[in-house]
């Protein structure tokens, strides 16, 4: 799994990930579904 | 012939797996 | 708000759901077209087995990672930390960038507290020693008094017994 670890650090540290803004009271299930839907 | 079909299916599955796994990692990083 | 453990479980379930949706039976049949034409039922049962084993092994793997890292426990303690920090206004402590500064700012208060604790213990011990020394001196004085008393009694007794001798002598004469 080493290849995952090396790339992981780069992925984890790069800032520009699409921030998930979680509004209080928002249905987290829906948020998660959308994250998987968003074709990125 | 079966092996060819299997490789085709597996390549497809692996691509989707990697894409979905990356999304899962993203969501876990941010929400968990 | 659902805890992190629940969010994690939901994320894994959604992942599996999307994976199975991607690896649909239709897709499977497209790949194994010729085989499907010959054995449609068998194709279906092979597909069903494949998908259920795929899901089972992914779930098992994730569970193993959770057990190894004790993630359930960590998730709930993370929830607790976030909960406790909710009403905190100012941002949490951050390293100043000068390590010795950070060490000093954390260690000095602790060491000062420890020093005052040791001073207090020392004072208590010194007080205790003073009391013990005092009682030793009192004991010595008491012994000296008693020795003088003994001496005085002894002299008195000797004087009396001397007089008694003389009296006896006188009567004998």
Mean pLDDT in residue range C165-171: 94
> CB A28 to CB C14 under 8 A?
no
Of the partner residues B24, B26, B31, the one whose CB lies closest to the CB of residue A17: B26
Using the beta-carbon criterion (under 8 Å), do A32 and C7 form an inter-chain contact? yes
The pLDDT of residue C144 is: 97
Amino acid A8: pLDDT:
65
Stretch B13-28: mean pLDDT: 91
Cα-Cα end-to-end distance for chain A: 24
pLDDT number for residue A27? 85
Question: Could you report the per-residue pLDDT of C92-121, keeping only the tens digit for each?
Answer: 888 888 999 999 998 999 999 999 999 999
**pLDDT at A7 (0 to 100):** 66
Mean pLDDT for the stretch of residues C162-171: 95
Q: Does A39 touch chain C (CB under 8 A)?
A: no
> Hey, are the CB atoms on A28 and C11 less than 8 Å from each other?
no
For residues C33 and A23, the model is more confident at C33
Task: State the SS3 of C46-98.
Answer: HHHHHHHHHHHHHHHHHHHHHHHHCHHHHHHHHHHHHHHCCCCCCCCCCCCCC
Which chain C residues are closer than 8 Å to B28 by Cβ? 8, 11
User: Does position C140 have pLDDT exceeding 70, yes or no?
Assistant: yes
Q: Distance (Å, rounded) from C-alpha C32 to C-alpha B5?
A: 5
Give the number of beta-carbon pairs within 8 Å between A and B.
24
The confidence score (pLDDT) of residue A15 equals 56
Chains that touch B (3 or more CB pairs under 8 A): A, C
Secondary structure of chain C: what % helix, strand, coil (to 5)?
85, 0, 15
Instruction: Assess contact for A21 and B30: CB atoms under 8 A.
Output: no
With a cut of 90, say whether residue B9 has pLDDT above it: yes
The ipTM value here is 0.84
pLDDT in tens, C74-96: 999 999 999 998 888 888 888 88
Of A3 and C70, the one with more pLDDT: C70
Chain A touched by B16 (CB under 8 Å): no
Q: How many domains does chain B have?
A: 1
Per-residue confidence (pLDDT) for residue B30, from 0 to 100: 86
**Which bin fits C65, alpha (ψ -120 to 50), beta or left (φ > 0)?**
alpha
**Chain B contact residues (CB < 8 Å to C):** 1-2, 5-6, 8-9, 12-13, 16-17, 20-21, 23-24, 27-28, 31-32
**pLDDT computed for residue A40 by the predictor:** 45
Range of the domain at B14: 1-32
Q: What is the full per-residue pLDDT of chain A (40 aa) written as tens digits?
A: 666 666 666 666 665 566 777 777 788 888 899 888 875 4
Of A11, A20, A40, the CB nearest to B31: A20
Does pLDDT of C162 surpass 70?
yes
Task: Say which residue the tokens 């939901």 belong to.
Answer: C10
Question: Above pLDDT 90, what percent of chain C?
Answer: 88
């Amino acid at each position: 799994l080493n290849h995952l670890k090396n790339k992981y650090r780069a992925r984890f540290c790069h800032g520009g990930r699409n921030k998930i803004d979680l509004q209080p009271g928002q249905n987290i299930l829906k948020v998660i579904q959308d994250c998987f839907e968003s074709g990125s | 012939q079966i092996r060819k079909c299997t490789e085709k299916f597996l390549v497809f599955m692996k691509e989707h797996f990697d894409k979905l796994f990356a999304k899962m990692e993203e969501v876990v990083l941010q929400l968990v | 708000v659902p805890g992190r453990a629940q969010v994690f479980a939901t994320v894994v379930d959604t992942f599996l759901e999307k994976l199975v949706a991607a690896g649909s039976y239709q897709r499977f049949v497209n790949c194994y077209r010729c085989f499907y034409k010959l054995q449609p039922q068998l194709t279906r049962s092979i597909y069903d087995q494949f998908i259920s084993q795929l899901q089972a092994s992914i779930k098992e793997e994730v569970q193993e990672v959770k057990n190894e890292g004790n993630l359930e426990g960590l998730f709930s303690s993370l929830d607790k930390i976030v909960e406790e920090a909710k009403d905190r206004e100012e941002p949490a402590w951050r390293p100043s960038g000068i390590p010795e500064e950070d060490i000093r700012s954390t260690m000095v208060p602790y060491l000062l507290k420890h020093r005052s604790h040791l001073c207090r213990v020392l004072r208590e011990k010194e007080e205790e020693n003073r009391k013990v020394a005092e009682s030793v001196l009192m004991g010595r004085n008491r012994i000296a008094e008693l020795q003088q008393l003994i001496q005085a009694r002894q002299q008195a007794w000797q004087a009396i017994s001397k007089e008694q001798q003389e009296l006896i002598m006188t009567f004998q004469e």
